[in-house]
Chains A and B, each alone.
Chain A
């Protein structure tokens, strides 16, 4: 069965530091991959998505993600984190008409 794994439950970084959130997927064909962000008390917001083509995709809020087929990964990155980036981040894969979400990574940002 298709699945998404986010190995890190909780990550803490200092403001201005770089960030990488890990995501691994289990899927036979080329997957449709997504990153969503959920701020406290808010719904999920799409950061970026990958369907095909260039394996490095740019998203909103300065985020980017790189699709690596050999590693079955789709890690999210940001070169310099802002305090407002503190939130829960979810990786997801699209499978037969529905999104399957990972368990999420909670990002905490210290000043």
Chain B
């Protein structure tokens, strides 16, 4: 079974530039999550999709972050413009559903450095 695929693996940009991350979840998984993991902290949920609809984006900085999940499959997370404090690992995860007993499968993440 293929896992959650993310690209790119690493990205270095200057502040005020824009950047986009891509995630391909496990086939058939209805729920997709984007997490931000700042160095020394636990992952923080940015946005959660159920199919192609947004379930929770309460912690997404909407003035600069946006995300979409076209056709309920792949997802893209964008930052525009980036700030120094956006330096982090961005993790994508997917699960079959939204209930607590659904196991989350995580990708390897995209490590973003904003200079």
- Residue ranges of A at the interface with B (Cβ–Cβ < 8 Å): 4, 9, 32, 41-46, 49, 51, 90, 92, 94, 97-104
A-B CB contacts (within 8 Å), total count: 52
Within the complex, what minimum Cβ distance (angstroms) separates A4 from chain B? Answer: 8
Q: Quick check: which of B13-21, B41-49, B64-72, B75-83 contacts chain A, the rest being far away?
A: B41-49
Does B115 have its Cβ within 8 Å of any Cβ on chain A?
no
Within the complex, what minimum Cβ distance (angstroms) separates B38 from chain A? Answer: 10
Identify 12 new A-B residue pairs, CB closer than 8 A, beyond the known A43-B105, A46-B103, A51-B100. Answer: A43-B4, A43-B93, A43-B109, A44-B43, A44-B91, A46-B104, A90-B42, A92-B42, A97-B48, A98-B56, A103-B42, A104-B41
Residues of chain B at interface, number, CB under 8 A: 24
Within the complex, what minimum Cβ distance (angstroms) separates A71 from chain B? Answer: 21
Q: Knowing A43-B91, A44-B91, say if A99 contacts B107 (CB, 8 Å).
A: no
Overall SS of chain B's interface: loop
Contacts of B103 in A (CB 8 A): 46
Contacts of B98 in A (CB 8 A): 97
Overall SS of chain A's interface: strand
Q: How far is the CA of A49 from the CA of B103 in the complex (A)?
A: 10
Q: By the criterion CB–CB under 8 Å, are A98 and B43 in contact? A: no
Q: Knowing A98-B56, A101-B43, say if A43 contacts B108 (CB, 8 Å).
A: yes
Q: By the criterion CB–CB under 8 Å, are B43 and A90 in contact? A: yes
Contacts of A97 in B (CB 8 A): 48, 55-56, 98
Most buried by A among B100, B105, B108: B100
Q: How far is the CA of A49 from the CA of B88 in the complex (A)?
A: 27
Q: By the criterion CB–CB under 8 Å, are A98 and B100 in contact? A: no
Contacts of A101 in B (CB 8 A): 42-44
Contacts of A46 in B (CB 8 A): 103-104
